[in-house]
Amino acid sequence: MEAVIVNFRRGRKTQKTNQMILTIKGYDKEKAKSLIKKTVIYRPEGKNNKELKGIIKAVHGNKGNVRAYFETGMPGQSVGKKVEVI
């Protein structure tokens, strides 16, 4: 299934570049709980076909968004792009 990266997880003055907030269409808070511990793969466009993998660790908020932790920091270009949830 596909999800969209909404933003970095951030505070007022900091942002955590390896933690992203994802939105999945049609999911509310209860359905999003079933996605915890699933794998997320981000494939950037371009010459290097390097995959960045992450894990969904928690529900974020009441609208069904989830929080994914990636192995490395994510580029700013990833915001608004699609990722694959396995």
Domains of the chain: 2-85 (2.40.10.190)
Measuring CA to CA, which residue among 63, 57, 8 is closest to residue 35?
Answer: 57
Tell me the one-letter amino acid at 57: K
Measuring CA to CA, which residue among 15, 54, 9, 10 is closest to residue 35?
Answer: 54
Question: Under 8 Å CB-to-CB from 45, ≥6 apart: which residues?
Answer: none
- What pLDDT is attached to residue 10? 94
For the record, the structure tokens of 38 come out as 């699933």
Q: Tell me the pLDDT band of 49, cut-offs 50, 70 and 90.
A: confident
- C-alpha angle with apex 26: 49 to 57, nearest 5 degrees? 60
- What pLDDT is attached to residue 33? 95
Q: Tell me the pLDDT band of 45, cut-offs 50, 70 and 90.
A: confident
- What pLDDT is attached to residue 48? 75
- What pLDDT is attached to residue 6? 97
